[in-house]
């Protein structure tokens, strides 16, 4: 494999589940950027957003990406907003391959309607509002990725196998 494997995509696309399945299949360790930031800051992501602001969180994401250069090979499960900064897209592309896991707004709604850990979904409690944010991000995801994989109706293990066949 050439460099890290970055999994990007909207909240609820299944990045964590696919990363874990791919790790089980290949033995490559996973780094979850939200988890890393949570540990580093000793705070929940929603508290970081509420108390320090989204900009502070986005800076942490960029710093984390920059620190990955030259590190042991990893599967990086990225927070959903990671590719929004062109600088982040460039850092990911320089350090490995970027795979966009796509998902429908309806599936995101079904999966996350009872989740309260994602501040950017707090006021987006229906598929139309989710679709609007997804659409606003489409261009950034497209620009950042080297390939996209639909996750609709697939098990994480099947998606992981698709990725492993190409990149591992």
Among 43, 120, 129, 131, binds ligand S3P (CB under 6 A): 120
Per rule CB under 6 A, is residue 83 in the interface with ligand S3P?
no
| The pair of three-digit structure tokens given for residue 114, joined into one six-digit string | 């009872």
How many degrees, rounded to 5, is the angle at CA 109 between CA 142 and CA 90?
Answer: 20
Of the candidate spans 74-82, 92-100, 122-130, 151-159, the one that interacts with ligand S3P by CB under 6 A turns out to be 74-82
Per rule CB under 6 A, is residue 48 in the interface with ligand S3P?
no
Among 18, 34, 76, 96, binds ligand S3P (CB under 6 A): 34
- Least distance to ligand S3P, CB of residue 32, Å: 8
Per rule CB under 6 A, is residue 80 in the interface with ligand S3P?
yes
75-77 and 147-150: which strand pairing? unpaired
- Least distance to ligand S3P, CB of residue 95, Å: 19
Per rule CB under 6 A, is residue 119 in the interface with ligand S3P?
yes
Per rule CB under 6 A, is residue 65 in the interface with ligand S3P?
no
What residues have CB less than 8 Å from 112, skipping those under 6 apart? 11, 12, 118, 121
| The pair of three-digit structure tokens given for residue 95, joined into one six-digit string | 């350090």
Nearer to ligand S3P, 119 or 127 (CB): 119
DSSP state of 82: G
Per rule CB under 6 A, is residue 111 in the interface with ligand S3P?
no
Is-contact 143 86, C-beta < 8 A? yes
DSSP state of 10: S
Question: What is the C-alpha separation between 72 and 30, in angstroms, rounded?
Answer: 11
Question: What is the C-alpha separation between 142 and 107, in angstroms, rounded?
Answer: 20
Per rule CB under 6 A, is residue 101 in the interface with ligand S3P?
no
Which residues are near ligand S3P by CB under 6 A? 11, 15, 34, 45, 79-81, 118-120
């Amino acid at each position: 494999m050439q460099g890290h494997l970055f999994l990007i995509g909207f909240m609820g696309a299944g990045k964590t589940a696919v990363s874990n399945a791919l790790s089980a299949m290949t033995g490559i360790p996973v780094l979850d950027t939200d988890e890393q930031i949570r540990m580093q800051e000793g705070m929940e992501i929603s508290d970081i957003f509420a108390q320090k602001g989204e900009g502070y969180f986005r800076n942490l994401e960029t710093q984390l990406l920059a620190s990955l250069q030259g590190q042991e090979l990893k599967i990086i499960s990225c927070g959903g907003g990671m590719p929004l900064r062109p600088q982040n897209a460039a850092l990911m592309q320089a350090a490995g391959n970027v795979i966009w896991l796509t998902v429908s707004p309806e599936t995101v709604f079904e999966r996350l309607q009872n989740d309260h850990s994602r501040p950017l979904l707090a006021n987006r409690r229906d598929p139309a509002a989710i679709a609007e944010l997804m659409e606003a991000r489409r261009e950034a995801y497209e620009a950042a990725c080297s390939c996209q994989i639909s996750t609709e109706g697939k098990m994480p293990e099947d998606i992981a196998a698709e990725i492993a066949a190409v990149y591992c």
